[in-house]
């Protein structure tokens, strides 16, 4: 067996969260006495702090030529893992052995300077990503062609359209030739067209040249498309490492702690009338749900607490795409609420939404006057659509249900 491209053993990263006021300035530090300043200057400890393990006891191996996906909810430690692998920050415990040149792409266009021209930025960005001047020069024409910015090479990039900017930035990164490529959600930028181009390029990189790729994304269809094996992280621990389908299934079936969106605390006025006390998404049969698969029914449970009788109470639920496009809004029938806890259930069993992360916005009103309105939960839809054989991340619209179509001769 060949040497692994990456071997991680017992990896942990601890952050300290310092309490009380943020001690960002010297004055704050001074208030804590000379001895403590001394400690502080020595970068030691001595302040009240809470330890927080962003990663803990993570072990895995990546074989050369493997395309490994990394998934998990926000805060699961994905980015921390990439940062450690890219040597941006040091681990607290553990050991990583890497064989081969590593290039990490945690952001598109790192180090681009708006005042510099496209040509200058290609060189600067290339150098920042670890290319030598000679290497950049030899790939210059290719980069420019991929980015389609020939005419604007000598224009400062601050005058570029955002599309051009992103294209140029990705073009530089795509022409890196490391043995190991580490990619964070860079595909979250740009339009659908561009994302497709990026994914295509990533596939070429992985398949054609036998390079090892580590890929973090929330975009599960893309993970499914690109990765052979996937790590599932949850709260800093490696929950599962296995074939992508298995990891995605585990993720979808709520083995991952369903992290509720933090509800904003109600104001005094809301508290004296009515406010949302809990809100979550679940399977139509009632089990907790981290991810619904395309076409699978889901429902939203909304709990409200009324402090006094509410007349003509209406609770609205809106489904909004991650780009902020409103998809659907429904209102509960107007009812009079008695004081106490009430539960509303919204069931969606007819519309198949495309795989994406959606926001659920909740609004409460009394006699037509709004009381509360905010994003109360997330709806994650993932997986393939049973109705269309090759559902992709985009290109088929947001609603995947079919229509009745008929043809007749006139």
Partner 1 sequence: MPTQKPLPSLVITPAQGTSRYWLDLWRYRELLGFLAWRDLKVRYKQAVLGVAWAILQPAVQVVLLTFVFGKLAQMPAGDEQLPYPLLVLAGLLPWQLFSNAFSGAGGSLVGNSHLISKVYFPRLIVPLSSLAVAVVDFLILLVLTLLILPIAGYWPTWHLVLLPLFLLAALLIAFGAGLWITALTVRFRDFRFISPFILQVGLFVTPVGYRTDNLPTWRELLALNPLTGVIDGFRWCLLGGKVEFQATALISTVVVSGILLGTGLWLFRRTERSFADII
Nearer to partner 1, 45 or 267 (CB): 45
DSSP 8-class letter at 385 = -
Placement of tokens 């139509």 in the chain: 284
Name all contacts of 129-132 with Cβ < 8 Å and 24+ positions apart: 129/103, 129/105, 129/172, 129/173, 129/176, 130/101, 130/103, 130/176, 130/178, 131/176
Q: Binder to partner 1 among 102, 149, 168, 360 (CB under 8 A)? A: 102
Q: Of 25-33, 45-53, 230-238, 381-389, which part binds partner 1 (CB under 8 A)? A: 25-33
Q: Which of 204, 209, 247 is nearest to 226 (CA)?
A: 204
- Compute how many residues bind partner 1; rule: CB under 8 A: 48
409 binds partner 1 (CB under 8 A): no
Q: How far is the CB of 39 from partner 1 (least distance, A)?
A: 13
Among 46, 61, 63, 120, binds partner 1 (CB under 8 A): 120
Pick the closer one to partner 1 by CB: 136 or 344: 136
Least distance in angstroms from the C-beta of 322 to partner 1? 23
Contacting residue, 209, 228, 267, 322, with partner 1 by CB under 8 A: 209
Between 22 and 285, CB nearer to partner 1: 22
Question: Which listed range, 119-127, 228-236, 291-299, 379-387, lies at the site for partner 1 (CB under 8 A)?
Answer: 119-127
Instruction: Name which of 128 and 263 has its Cβ closer to partner 1.
Output: 128
Tell which residue, 356, 349, 353, has the closest CA to residue 385: 353
Please state, in angstroms and rounded to a whole number, the distance separating the CA atoms of residues 277 and 344.
Answer: 12
Task: For residue 314, state whether it binds partner 1 (rule: CB under 8 A).
Answer: no
Q: Give the three-state DSSP class for 28.
A: helix
Structure letter (DSSP) for residue 399: B
By the rule CB under 8 A, 57 interacts with partner 1: no
Interface with partner 1 includes 91 (CB under 8 A)? Answer: yes
Q: Is 137 in the site for partner 1 (CB under 8 A)?
A: no
- Closer of 104 and 385 to partner 1 (Cβ): 104
155 touching partner 1, by CB under 8 A = no
Q: Please, are residues 201 and 213 in contact by the beta-carbon 8 Å criterion?
A: no
Q: Is 144 helix (H, G, I), strand (E, B) or coil?
A: helix
The span of 90-98, 191-199, 299-307, 315-323 binding partner 1 (CB under 8 A) equals 90-98
Tell me if 401 contacts partner 1 by CB under 8 A: no
Residue 133 as a binder of partner 1 (CB under 8 A): the answer is yes
Q: Interface with partner 1 includes 104 (CB under 8 A)?
A: yes
Q: From 108-116, 286-294, 297-305, 401-409, give the range in contact with partner 1 by CB under 8 A.
A: 108-116
φ and ψ at 79, to 5 degrees? Answer: -65, -35
With CB under 8 A as the contact rule, the residue among 32, 60, 61, 128 that binds partner 1 is: 128
Residue 57 to residue 369: CA distance in whole angstroms = 52
Q: Does 83 engage in binding with partner 1 (CB under 8 A)?
A: yes
Q: Which of 227, 257, 221 is nearest to 353 (CA)?
A: 221
CA 261 to chain centre: 14
Q: Which part of the chain contacts partner 1 (CB under 8 A), choosing from 24-32, 265-273, 306-314, 385-393?
A: 24-32
Task: List the one residue out of 374, 383, 388 whose CA is nearest residue 320.
Answer: 374
232 binds partner 1 (CB under 8 A): no
Residue 25 burial class via C-beta count within 10 angstroms: exposed 0-12, middle 13-18, buried 19 and up:
exposed
Would you count residue 194 as binding partner 1 (CB under 8 A)? Answer: no
The answer to whether 88 contacts partner 1 (rule: CB under 8 A) is yes
Region of 127-135, 307-315, 341-349, 368-376 interacting with partner 1 (CB under 8 A): 127-135
Tokens of 283: 């399977």
Overall size of the chain counted in residues: 410
Looking at the DSSP assignment, which residues form a beta bridge with residue 318? 329, 361
Q: What stretch of H or E contains 204?
A: helix 192-208
Residue 63 contacts partner 1 per CB under 8 A: no
d(CA 335, CA 367): 10
Contacts to partner 1 by CB under 8 A: 15, 24-27, 29, 40-41, 43, 83-102, 104, 106-107, 110-111, 113, 115-116, 120, 123-124, 127-130, 132-133, 179, 209
């Amino acid at each position: 067996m060949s040497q692994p491209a990456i071997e991680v053993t017992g990896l942990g990263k601890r952050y300290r969260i310092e309490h009380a006021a943020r001690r960002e300035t010297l004055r704050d530090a001074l208030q804590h006495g000379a001895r403590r300043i001394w400690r502080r200057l020595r970068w030691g400890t001595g302040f009240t702090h809470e330890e927080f393990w962003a990663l803990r006891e993570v072990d895995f191996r990546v074989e050369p030529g493997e395309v490994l996906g990394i998934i998990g909810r926000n805060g699961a430690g994905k980015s921390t893992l990439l940062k450690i692998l890219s040597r941006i920050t040091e681990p607290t415990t553990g050991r990583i052995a890497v064989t081969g040149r590593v290039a990490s792409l945690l952001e598109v266009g790192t180090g681009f300077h708006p005042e510099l021209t496209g040509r200058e930025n290609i060189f600067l960005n290339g150098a920042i990503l670890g290319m030598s001047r000679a290497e950049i020069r030899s790939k210059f024409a290719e980069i420019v062609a991929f980015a389609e910015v020939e005419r604007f090479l000598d224009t400062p990039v601050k005058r570029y359209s955002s599309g051009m900017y992103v294209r140029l930035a990705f073009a530089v990164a795509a022409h890196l030739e490391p043995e190991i490529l580490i990619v964070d959600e860079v595909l979250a930028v740009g339009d659908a067209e561009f994302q497709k181009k990026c994914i295509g390029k990533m596939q070429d990189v992985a398949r054609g040249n036998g390079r090892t790729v580590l890929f973090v994304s929330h975009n599960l269809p893309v993970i499914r498309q690109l990765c052979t094996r996937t790590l599932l992280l949850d709260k800093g621990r490696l929950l599962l490492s296995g074939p992508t389908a298995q990891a995605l299934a585990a993720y979808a079936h709520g083995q991952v702690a369903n992290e509720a969106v933090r509800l904003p605390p109600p104001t005094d006025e809301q508290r004296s009338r009515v406010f949302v006390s809990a809100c979550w998404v679940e399977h139509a049969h009632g089990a907790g749900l981290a991810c619904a698969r395309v076409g699978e029914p889901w429902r939203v449970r909304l709990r409200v607490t009324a402090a006094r009788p509410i007349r003509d109470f209406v609770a609205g639920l809106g489904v909004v795409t991650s780009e902020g496009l409103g998809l659907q809004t429904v209102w509960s029938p107007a009812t009079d609420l008695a004081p106490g806890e009430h539960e509303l259930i919204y069931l969606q069993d007819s519309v198949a939404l495309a795989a994406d992360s959606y926001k659920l916005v909740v609004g409460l009103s009394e006699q037509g006057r709004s009381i509360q309105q905010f994003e109360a939960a997330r709806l994650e839809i993932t997986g393939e659509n049973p109705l269309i054989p090759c559902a992709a991340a985009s290109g088929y619209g947001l609603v995947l249900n079919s229509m009745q179509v008929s043809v007749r001769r006139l």
